[in-house]
Structure 1
């Protein structure tokens, strides 16, 4: 069943006339671009042509306008744990119930953190002001405060030892035997978690903590730590590089740490909607995270994927598929993929087995976009260590390739990096795939003739910022990818046998069936881009993430 891409060679495709190609030995049905159908709300959109005619850019933008209005009315954000998220979840529920789907909301508690301001500076012996994101990073779940005090190194190792996690700085009570209460503790990465280090320092009387990296290759850059969870009576905590840490370890050094943040346990929820099929033991599931970062309204990240799913769901409502379709809008993705993990963890073994596959849509309208498909066959991006890509994920990749081939649109792979909501599903050995249009990584020169846009500029210049608003989209990408969502969901809802050998029946009217070894629009280049971004990783210290 499993197929693989042909061996890759260095080739940069040149944009040409778009069109649908009849590949040798394949069955091809051409599907027109969405044009906006009449009577869509009353029609059984059981063919690709009908469904993609009804899934329109206008419809997707209606939902995004609503998400923007929700953010505007709630402090500029739709982050989980805020009223803006609650209103977003209510909007999704209302739209899906009105369309005839069965909707549930799964509530769960999660550790909330929002930083509003910070400053970090060396006061003595030489005054130096540090820049957040370049010279220092506020630890996730840091406490608030504004403290200036002497820096006291606690069991640090300078120069570094030869292997990672080679010291116990701040991990043991004995480390603080000579610590002066009222000082700021300088602690080094290694052995135990940053949360343990920070708590031990607070109990020893420290008024703040500076955490710095170990110094080995790969552990000498800026440290972006997390304390793991909110801590009681937490003190301000920042992370710095090994080089900065060694400077601060010098005798007579004092620093100022200022952090203003909110940290605590809050409640949020997932929204789960289901459309019954003829069978219930081979569920085709698709999801998009609904929450934004606290800094902005999150219209591309990830209002775009959320709105695309709403639009597809409303136009699928009268379809009677073979496989049950289940859509999910995840909460707390931006704080560590928490909603999707909560959902999968809540399922019984049989319920996990009933999910035939999972499709993930996280950022499908980036303003300087490229068309990325998760690389299910790992022909371009082998999965990182510890990330398993289940069998059948390659076939999901080929379904999306089929769509782009049918439209004459260029596309390329992106890695399963473990940084979006597919992770909980592939951990459960559920075949997965999806679409992405790029985040903070810069577009490359070879991509401009294929997608348009500007090289040397991030796919989304407003990624995780206040500027991720209703203007932060490319309408062409959003329109095309909403149709791609519709195509994949309908195709696999009728027949998922290519993914998991579960027999189905063909989509009425047929689908495009291209040869994975004879693609015309798959981009092959000497330097594959990948797209970057999505949920940002944070370092726990002794625990690798």
Structure 2
């Protein structure tokens, strides 16, 4: 494993940053550099905010989902701190359709070989599923078994024609891949399905129980659940030999036009015609406290903002921090914000930095691929500069990093669609960590013969400061904590946050925010989206697995 080292290369970066902070003749010198802010923004400080968010969830039904009291209390907590620190703070109210699961779901195989499956372990209700209690034969829809060698080989359920000959009233068995889950479920409903079981596709990182969302625009009133590749494959094998009868029960509530908020805070000084934005979604999924997703991003930019104020930093360019609501319902808050901006105000945003999950327990250091050289999806002009700033910073402190695609799964999507340069950091979600990544970042690629994801508690109740108490595999989390020398422990308890990775992310966030806050050069160039970014933006919705 490659440990962090403060080397000569970083000294050069710090020196160049200090030069960049030299004032123009119209502005007093700013006696800080990136190293000062980095030293102030610590993992301990971020963890204290995560502790507060955990307390909020504990006091509000174990969730901080948008539209719930837990989300409102999260906004209150951050707003109070920012107001006291001297920021110009506003709430932006908007509405969305909220989703609540009223009772535990039920899934059983009636025949052959009856089996009752364990909710939240073997299967999960898809967010925005309708309600229903159905017992019916299962019918497979265009499955690819064995699975292809790469993700999205399967197009199961993506076309209406996949359901040609489907027997109305049956429960559809479809496979993850290629299109949004809502498309698969809607096509099944149109074909007369009484329920839908979506199983994971089968490649490494696509085997675990699928915790999917259909998005708040989904309106079909039928039960939709996600399950693992192993269970889906078993059901498909049984179907090949004869009839399989399943029993599905979901009881859900979708409330229309629920109010929630974005929270926006801006420095009282700095050029407002070249605003630097940093954002993170504040909401959790309904299942839990959302401490890694996305308490970590929210707490990291909060601590950055507070330490900038504490150090008396007066940026050349105004810095605007944003905490987005209803991300888990489909990136609604950030899209609402960008859509609400007059064109002139959009043009004043120099760039957007996105931080969604920056403390995954089995982390890797992912940097959004702004220049498109890794994934072929380029961001708007200037996004390449953001990518290089982050990757150069990690290299300078002796830490590995690697690109991740602009695939539309987080709040940068609205910004790149509007032609605003964007970038950011991510430490991994449901994907499986590779053996090569273990060499670079530590951790585990396998445990008890099974692949290990970057965050084994992604979108589950165990995404908390006490994951084992909230249902996580105790032996796995003990092994992860041991692999990282205790980096998951917080106040004597193994948490769902890796403080070693979080510390590096905190350094990178502080470095980027301050560098762009103080730069005298333009980043965004033409401020026009590249054809590939405009073409790709919006294909996926939300980090909560729309496809």
Fold-level match, TM-score > 0.5?
Answer: yes
Describe how 1:48-197 pairs up with structure 2 within 5 A.
48-115=34-101, 116-124=103-111, 127-129=114-116, 138-148=125-135, 150-151=136-137, 167=160, 193=183
What pairs with 1:473-512 in structure 2 (closer than 5 Å)?
A: 473-495=497-519, 497=521, 499-501=523-525
Q: Are the equivalent residues in 1 in contact too, given 2:350–2:420 (CA < 8 A)? A: yes
- Alpha-carbon deviation of 1:247? 6.8
Q: Which moved more, 1:374-383 or 1:318-327?
A: 374-383
Call closer, same or farther: CA 1:108–1:152 in 2, change over 3 Å.
same
* Deviation at residue 535 of structure 1 after TM alignment: 0.8
1:455 alignment counterpart:
445
Aligned to 2:338: 344
Q: Structure 1 pair 167/294, CA: closer, same or farther in 2 (3 Å)? A: closer
| C-alpha displacement of 1:413 | 2.1
User: Given the alignment, which residue of 304, 309, 312 partners 1:312?
Assistant: 304
CA deviation after TM superposition for structure 1 residue 30, in Å: 9.0
Task: State the secondary structure of the residue aligned to 2:54.
Answer: helix
Normalising to structure 1: TM-score of the pair? 0.72
- Matching residue within 4, 18, 26 for 2:5: 18
Q: How does 1:517-536 map to 2 (within 5 A)?
A: 535-536=543-544
Moved more, 464-473 or 76-85: 464-473
2:214–2:546 contact (8 Å) kept in structure 1: no
Q: Distance in 1 between matches of 2:426 and 2:212?
A: 27
CA distance change for structure 1 residues 74 and 165 in 2, over 3 Å: closer, same or farther? closer
Query: Could you say which structure has the greater relative contact order, defined with CA pairs below 8 angstroms and 6 or more residues apart?
Result: 1
Q: 1:230–1:390: structure 2 CA closer, same or farther, 3 Å change rule?
A: closer
- The 5-angstrom pairing of residues 319-338 of structure 1 reads 319-338=313-332
Shift of 1:128: 5.0
2:24: which partner in 1? none
1:236 equivalent in alignment to 2:223: yes
Distance change (3 Å), C-alpha of 1:111 and 1:477: same
User: Which of 383, 395, 399 is the aligned partner of 2:385?
Assistant: 395
Q: Which residue in 1 is equivalent to 2:422? A: 432
Match of 2:462 among 467, 471, 478: 467
Name structure 1 gaps, 5 residues minimum: 1-13, 33-43, 503-532, 540-545
| 3-state DSSP of counterpart to 2:105 | strand
CA RMSD of aligned residues (A): 4.3
Shift of 1:242: 9.6
Instruction: Give the match for residue 7 of structure 1.
Output: none
Per the alignment, residue 257 of structure 1 pairs with 248
Deviations 1:134-181 (A, max 9, x none): 986644322234333x44989x89999x9985545889xxx99x96xx
Cα distance in 1 for residues equivalent to 2:250 and 2:94: 28
SS at structure 1 position matched to 2:302: helix
Between structures 1 and 2, the one with greater helix share: 2
State yes or no: 1:299 paired with 2:323: no
Instruction: Indicate if the aligned counterparts of 1:230 and 1:263 stay in contact, CA closer than 8 A.
Output: no
Gaps of 5+ in 2: 19-29, 146-154, 447-451, 466-494, 527-540
Distance in 1 separating the partners of 2:156 and 2:285: 35
Checking the alignment, whether the CA contact within 8 Å between 2:279 and 2:355 is kept in structure 1 is yes
Task: State the alpha-carbon separation in 2 of the partners of residues 404 and 152 from structure 1.
Answer: 50
* CA distance, structure 2, for counterparts of residue 235 and residue 443 of structure 1: 35
> Is the Cα–Cα contact under 8 Å of residues 139 and 225 in structure 1 kept in the other structure?
yes
Largest Rg, 1 or 2: 1
Contact 1:301 1:464 in 2 (8 A): yes
Distance 1:361 1:257, change over 3 A: same
C-alpha displacement at 1:488, in angstroms? 0.7
Alignment deviations for residues 362-409 of structure 1 (CA, whole Å, 9 cap, x no partner): 1112222222221222333333xxxx5112111111222333244333
Q: C-alpha distance in 2, partners of 1:454/1:157?
A: 34
- Say if 1:132 and 1:245 are closer, same or farther in 2 by CA, change over 3 A: farther
The Cα shift of 1:234 comes to 2.7
Normalised to the residue count of structure 2, the TM-score between the two structures is 0.72
Aligned match of 1:377 in 371, 378, 383?
371
1: CA distance, partners of 2:509 / 2:320: 13
CA contact (8 A) 2:357 2:427 kept: yes
Question: Would you say the 8 A contact 1:170–1:187 is kept in 2?
Answer: no
- C-alpha deviations, 1:97-131, integer Å up to 9, x for none? 11111111111111222345222234246645567
Report the Cα offset of residue 95 of structure 1: 0.8
1:495–1:474 CA distance, 2 compared to 1 (3 A): same
The match for 2:261 among 249, 269, 280 is: 269
- Structure 1: how far apart are the matches of 2:159 and 2:364? 42
